[in-house]
Amino acid sequence: MASFMNKLSKIKWNHYVNYAAVAIVAIVFSAMTFAGGLPQSTLFLLEKTTMNIVLAVSLSLVVGFLGELSLGHAGFMCVGAYIGGKTACLLDGAIDGKGILSFIISLAVGALVAGVFGFIIGLPALRLKGDYLAIVTLAFGEIVKTVFENSSKESFGGPIGLRTPRFDKQYLFIIGFILVLLTMFIIQNLIRSKHGRAITAIRDNEIAARATGINVTKYKLVGFIISSSLAGVAGVFYSFANSTVKAAVFDYNYSIEILIMVVLGGMGNISGAIVSATVITYINTQLQTLLTGDLAVLKDIIYALILVVIIIYNNAPSLKFFREKYNMKALVSKIFKFVGKPSAGKDDESAWHRVPTKIEMNEILSTDLKVVESTLEPDKEDKG
Amino acid sequence: MDFIVTLVNGLSLGGIYAMIALGYTMVYGIAKMLNFAHGDVIMVGGYTVLVFLAVNPVLAIVMSVIFCLLLGIVIEKVAYKPLRGASPLAVLITAIGVSYLLQSLALIIFGAAPEFVIIANLGTLDLGPISIKYSTIITLVATVIVMTVLSLFVKYSKIGRAMVAVSEDRDAARLMGININMIITITFAIGSALAALAGVCSLLNVPTITPTYGAMPGIKAFTAAVIGGIGSIPGAMVGGILLGIVECLCKAVPEIAPYTIAIEFAILIVILLVKPTGILGKKRREKV
Amino acid sequence: MKFTKVLALVLACVMCLGVLASCGGGDVNYAKDNTKIKIGASGPLTGGAAIYGIAVKNSAALAIKEINAAGGIFGDGSMFFDELVMTDDKHDPTLVAANYASLYEGGVQITLGTVTTGPALEFKDLSHDDNVFVLTPSASGDAVPEYDNAFQMCFADSNQGTASAQYFNENYQGKKVGAFYKSDDEYSTGILAKFEEALDASFGTVTKAAFVEGDSDFSQHVQNLKECDIIFMPIYYTPASQFMTAGIGTIKNNAIYYGCDGLDGVDSVKNFDINTIPQEVSYLSHFNSGATDGAAKTYINAYREEYGADAPLNQFGAAAYDCVYAIRDALVAAKAAGKTFEVNTSASDFCDILKDIFTSDSFVFHGVTGAPEADGKSNISWNSTGYVNKEAVKYIVKEANEAN
């Protein structure tokens, strides 16, 4: 019994280590800003990083755990930004538009409306599979963008954008960290619950999941709605971090940027998504501010090369042995082994984030199972 | 009369979309990947025309096709081949990386300023009440020829049939002795050459080129391919033409012109909801 | 779980960087180590709008080089401008905050703001908080000079719309007016709205054809506008050149293309021969990049000599060139007025000094944009709202091939 309790406590600690890491970072930076020590560049970087983490973690639910490709995450964020920003503008007369109360109300409204949009899009779209869903979500994002862009000046500002109250930049990132923790809490608890297991079961084999009595439509929809309302939360945060919400920002390139964060972080890996969102935001900001003037043309090339090299290195089947020998994880765990005791719960093969993803399955599956995979793809045309 | 002109414009624009969509659809059908860098191949084709235009317009077109064909092969070998068997998402991200790379290279080599690429001054065909540009007619004719040749190629040539086999069932095709890698490379080469042709037709109608020139046609063509049923060659044609006509009809009405993109995408959504695999995509039975 | 350790490691690294970077927070003077006065700007150097940002970057750098070569700000070698710091915002407002912070914390004392309006709306709030001086060459949105620290070198959008409509009212009565505009662009829609407002009712409704970012096939727009006698084009010159090319043979040969300052540079698009366009092409602007005399010509020659024939040259660049000289003149005027400043004076102090000068009635700047006076230079001044006062001129890029 005691050993069981011991094991339990170890696993729990393991579950909460990423909360702790985020919280510690948040506390350190908060202490520094209350001491008046943080320069604007750091504040802006933190705001952007926390926003991107919320986006990446929420998209990770759909792409990594539900196994559906969504290219419209920025569209939901756009809904959240406009609706939340408009709410804050309307509240500005009654209560202080930049205050925390106004923020919370806007957040609730923005998340709710984005969630409703998630429902409206998800209900029909989740009948579609794979790349078909990708194009429909992409289409949704572009439609939302176009509609807000052509709105009247009085309603949502039209092409020039909606002017929104900007939250005190000294403290906004603390709210960002709270939102990150909230997002992690929602997603991780969902994944660890029986609903989460249902969701990953759908990802791994939809037909088998349906056969075992899982309500596939319901779970897909729930995942999609939660993901989109969290994107809406990030959007409301955006509207409070900027003085203008402009629809053109939320194009499919932004959705792709978020998808890159999720994929680089590892499918179905929340901590990975957090790390890669942080690193990508940091690299992009550094490239943007360091390469000024004539050097600016180099930054996209550098970014693209980093992207291609990392993806090929991480995913190429032919580099598998090389990867297992010399990877960051091995390096880090070596260092940690060297410094301290081996990490606890290491042999817990059933830990939720260790459940092999569909992608890993594809690599190891035999031929006849691959036929199953190809029938799950959208249909092919008989040529000829 | 205006309506006929609008329709012809739509057909011509749709033809360009269809040609680009063909590249998307073939690559998707055979390599099972969304090649997001496809739009940027059009841009490279356009710049190749620009470079060789001073020598001879015909040579420029030929060089553009050859260069894009080679570029397609190189991109496939360097960026996508190492990932064969890996997650489709990883390939998608690599394709996006390649797209960024091509755009930045074009920006560095040619600069950001738009350049006019006038392949030929073709003039207008007057048919009494309506007048149609020769460039429009050439685009239409080119689309029909490309589509016919491609269909015949896929149907009757050895390589074409191998393509169909690979797209049907890769493992069975391998067992039948088909070199899958070679087929995929050939598919990329053909797709990229078609992109170059689309670029040339597009330059006949709109003689301007910038480094970001391929992005929007790329997305539109992707949409067209999905509307028609991705993986289907006639589907790409149907989807492209439909999208082109819808676009021109929307633009003909000033009040709804700003919403053109939204309407195009809304049509896509509606079509997919009614027919989840696109107009000419075939429904397959799923089994465990 | 190994990943959580990576996470911890990376976040720890970020934290360390944060700690290091935080050494100079609060109300410090980031410029205290400057040895020259530093000018900064943010603009699109890559992406679709790059030609405008690159023209600004080149022109401002040219002006700084010229001023320094001529003995610095006062001509006596006592004070110089540092090299221009220009960050890339890709015409994307989300990138502006980081750019602004890197400029401000990098010791930039005077800014040219941003090149385009969208990013400028972020920049104005950030710069207002720190009291940093902004003289934007080309962000023409009406809301850009909302605060007292911001000034425009270009005409505000609403002024351009009204001025164009007045010109139409006076000169083109009885003609059928069409408009070709970009519906997702604040510049284009802003001007068009004011234009329609100020246009006489006798013109009837304006026939409109809209396009959006990424469109380049304008054959349908040409169809919509083929009946019009005058086509108003509040857009930038690249789509304009495409539209006019598409319009050959369909748009009436005696029609008139009429644009705003964005149209300047239309005859400089590479390989585009404006003489293939049969119609008259004209625009109301503060600069003509085809100028053949006066200060404008001197600037164009210097620019071409420095950057070659292929570099983008347009009114954005000319305005940026004027901005740097206007700042120089304002500093000279400030010194004459007894204000003291050093090369390492803080951005906020510079802002207070320059604000006073720019809003004072006696400060008139003579530049290359605006209608030239007898000496080839224009008179430019600013009112307290930050809007510019100068004469716009209708430039005819190309006459019609046949008499109307």
- In which order are the strands placed within the sheet that holds C378-382? C365-372, C378-382, C388-389
Share of chain A above pLDDT 90, in %: 35
Identify the residue among C88, C217, C244 best suited for mutation to test binding to B, counting B beta carbons within 10 A and taking the highest: C217
Indicate whether A369 belongs to any domain. no
Distance of CA C178 to the CA centre of its chain: 26
Indicate whether A338 belongs to any domain. no
Instruction: State the average pLDDT over residues A234-258.
Output: 92
CA–CA distance, A295 with A170 (Å, rounded to integer): 31
Instruction: Please report where in the chains the tokens 């003039």 appear, as a residue.
Output: B123
Q: Which of B210, A149, A74 is nearest to C211 (CA)?
A: A149
* Residue pair A273/A262 in contact by the 8 Å Cβ criterion: yes
Number of domains in chain B: 1
Share of chain A above pLDDT 70, in %: 80
CA–CA distance, C375 with C387 (Å, rounded to integer): 24
* Residue pair B217/B18 in contact by the 8 Å Cβ criterion: no
pLDDT tens sequence across C121-175: 999 999 998 999 999 999 988 888 889 999 999 998 888 899 999 999 998 888 8
Indicate whether A326 belongs to any domain. no
Give the structural domain span for A67: 17-321
* Residue pair A46/A277 in contact by the 8 Å Cβ criterion: no
* Residue pair A81/A236 in contact by the 8 Å Cβ criterion: yes
Per-residue model confidence (pLDDT) at position A13: 64
The neighbours of chain A, by the rule of 3 or more Cβ pairs under 8 Å, are: B, C
Instruction: State the average pLDDT over residues C195-213.
Output: 90
Residue A4 banded pLDDT, cuts 50, 70, 90? low
Instruction: State the average pLDDT over residues A171-196.
Output: 92
Taking CB atoms and an 8 Å limit, are C212 and B111 in contact across chains?
no
CA angle C216, C217, C221 (to 5 degrees): 110
Taking CB atoms and an 8 Å limit, are B116 and C312 in contact across chains?
no
Instruction: Please report where in the chains the tokens 């084709």 appear, as a residue.
Output: B45
CA–CA distance, B58 with B49 (Å, rounded to integer): 9
* Residue pair C122/C149 in contact by the 8 Å Cβ criterion: no
ipTM: 0.89
Per-residue model confidence (pLDDT) at position A12: 61
pLDDT tens sequence across C108-124: 999 999 999 989 999 99
Instruction: Please report where in the chains the tokens 């006073």 appear, as a residue.
Output: C356
In this complex, is the C-beta atom of B111 within 8 Å of any C-beta atom belonging to chain A? no
Per the prediction, chain C carries an average pLDDT of 86
pLDDT tens sequence across A354-374: 444 444 444 433 333 333 344
Q: Of A13-27, C10-24, C208-222, where does the model show the most confidence?
A: C208-222
- Provide Rg for chain C, Cα atoms: 23
Taking only residues 209 to 248 of chain A, the set having a beta carbon closer than 8 angstroms to any beta carbon of chain B reads 211
Residue A283 banded pLDDT, cuts 50, 70, 90? very high
Identify the residue among C3, C181, C192 best suited for mutation to test binding to A, counting A beta carbons within 10 A and taking the highest: C3
- Beta strand C85-88 with C39-43 is parallel
Residue in chain A nearest B211 by alpha carbon: A297
Residue in chain B nearest C244 by alpha carbon: B206
Find the CATH number of the domain harbouring A276: 1.10.3470
Buried b (16+ CB within 10 A) or exposed e, B20-44: bbbbbbbbbbbbbbbbbbbbbbbbb
Per-residue model confidence (pLDDT) at position C9: 54
Indicate whether B8 belongs to any domain. yes
Instruction: State the average pLDDT over residues C225-242.
Output: 90
What chain C holds in terms of domains, given with CATH numbers, is 32-155+294-389 (3.40.50.2300), 158-285 (3.40.50.2300)
Indicate whether A11 belongs to any domain. no
Number of domains in chain A: 1
CA angle A302, A289, A22 (to 5 degrees): 90
In this complex, is the C-beta atom of B82 within 8 Å of any C-beta atom belonging to chain C? no
In this complex, is the C-beta atom of A44 within 8 Å of any C-beta atom belonging to chain C? yes
Cβ neighbours of A268 (radius 10 Å): 27
How would you class B46 by CB atoms within 10 Å of its CB: exposed for 0-12, middle for 13-18, buried for 19 or more? buried
Taking CB atoms and an 8 Å limit, are C18 and A166 in contact across chains?
no
**pLDDT surpasses 50 at A342:** no
Contacts of C54 (CB under 8 A, 6+ apart): B111, B112, C45, C311, C312
Indicate whether B280 belongs to any domain. no
Taking CB atoms and an 8 Å limit, are B97 and A63 in contact across chains?
no
Indicate whether A302 belongs to any domain. yes
Taking CB atoms and an 8 Å limit, are C214 and B115 in contact across chains?
no
* Residue pair C402/C271 in contact by the 8 Å Cβ criterion: no
Taking only residues 59 to 118 of chain C, the set having a beta carbon closer than 8 angstroms to any beta carbon of chain A reads 61, 84-88, 92-95, 97-102, 104-105, 117-118
Q: Which of A117, A90, A120 is nearest to A105 (CA)?
A: A90
Indicate whether B268 belongs to any domain. yes
Indicate whether A122 belongs to any domain. yes
- Beta strand C177-182 with C230-233 is parallel
Give the structural domain span for B49: 2-274
Indicate whether A336 belongs to any domain. no
Indicate whether B17 belongs to any domain. yes
Taking CB atoms and an 8 Å limit, are C212 and B118 in contact across chains?
no
Q: Note the helical H segments in chain B.
A: 2-31, 38-53, 57-75, 88-110, 134-156, 158-168, 170-175, 180-205, 215-228, 233-252, 260-274
Taking CB atoms and an 8 Å limit, are C50 and B207 in contact across chains?
no
Taking CB atoms and an 8 Å limit, are A32 and C8 in contact across chains?
no
**pLDDT surpasses 90 at A134:** no
* Residue pair C349/C361 in contact by the 8 Å Cβ criterion: no
Find the CATH number of the domain harbouring B124: 1.10.3470
pLDDT tens sequence across B82-112: 888 888 888 888 999 999 999 999 988 988 8
CA–CA distance, B39 with B36 (Å, rounded to integer): 7
CA dihedral (B148, B149, B154, B157) positive or negative: positive
H or E element, residue C111: strand C110-114
Taking CB atoms and an 8 Å limit, are A249 and C105 in contact across chains?
no
Residue C113, min C-alpha distance to chain A (Å): 15
Cβ neighbours of A1 (radius 10 Å): 5
What are the backbone dihedrals phi and psi of residue B176, each rounded to the nearest 5 degrees, phi first?
A: -80, 5
Token readout for A262 is: 């999720």
Indicate whether A342 belongs to any domain. no
pTM: 0.88
Q: Give the range among A311-315, A341-345, C369-373 with minimum mean pLDDT.
A: A341-345
Per-residue model confidence (pLDDT) at position A96: 64
Binned average pLDDT, 10 residues per bin, chain B of 288 residues: 84 91 87 86 94 90 95 92 84 90 91 84 77 85 90 91 88 90 92 93 88 88 89 88 93 88 92 86 59
Per-residue model confidence (pLDDT) at position A359: 43
